[in-house]
Structure 1
Amino acid sequence: MKTAAALHILVKTESEANALKAKIEKGANFSDLAKKHSMCPSKKQGGDLGEFKKGAMVKPFDQAVFSKGSDDKSVIGPVKTRFGYHLIRVLYTS
């Protein structure tokens, strides 16, 4: 069974997600932005979701995480789910 670990930021709008992504691309710290802006309880851990198995997350999120190579550290998203818009940084997949 494939596993992954990732950080994410969950916000209400695509425009908010895009604005945060632009800040990250300019050097802002992903975890700091997660703590400040994310709607997910994981924001207390800087957006850290820990390790999870393929199929454990909602489908669009799962597909985004497991479609990336484990060496690609770029920010994925915005990814729309029923919860809102996610920015995702995959730490590893195996």
Structure 2
Amino acid sequence: MSTAIVRHILVKDLTLAQQLKQKLADGADFAKLAKQHSTCNSAKRGGELGEVKKGQLVTVIDRLVFSAPEKTIQGPVKSKFGYHLVEVKFRMSHF
């Protein structure tokens, strides 16, 4: 079973997602942006989703979480909830 420690920012607007990704690239604080802009309940935790198991998230995000490089901001990725910026902090495999 694979798990990952993940954080994300969820917004309704693609343009805002792109602007936030640029701010992150320029060194903005992820947690601060998540608290200010994310529409997910995780916003109050700075976007932290904590440890997630494969299959626990919406399919498009789940695939990303278990394939994208660690410690890199991915997105914007569209789901039925809006646009996500996702960072996989690290992944673990449990045997």
Residues 36-61 of structure 1, C-alpha deviations (whole Å, 9 max, x = no match): 00000100000000101000000000
Q: Which of the numbers 71, 80, 83 marks the counterpart of 1:82?
A: 80
Shift of residue 15, structure 1, vs aligned partner: 1.0
Q: 1:24 & 1:52 partners in 2: Cα distance? A: 23
**What amino acid is aligned across from residue 75 of structure 1 in structure 2?**
I
Taking structure 1 as the reference length, the TM-score comes to 0.94
Count of residues in Structure 1 that have an aligned counterpart in Structure 2: 92
Q: 1:75 & 1:82 partners in 2: Cα distance? A: 20
Q: 2:56 & 2:71 partners in 1: Cα distance? A: 21
How is 1:1-94 mapped onto 2 (pairs within 5 angstroms)? 1-69=1-69, 72-94=70-92
Taking structure 2 as the reference length, the TM-score comes to 0.93
Segments of structure 1 that go 5 or more residues without pairing to the other structure are none
Q: 2:32 & 2:15 partners in 1: Cα distance? A: 19
Which 4+ residue blocks in structure 1 deviate beyond 6 angstroms?
none
Segments of structure 2 that go 5 or more residues without pairing to the other structure are none
**What amino acid is aligned across from residue 80 of structure 1 in structure 2?**
K
Shift of residue 73, structure 1, vs aligned partner: 1.1
Q: 1:86 & 1:59 partners in 2: Cα distance? A: 13
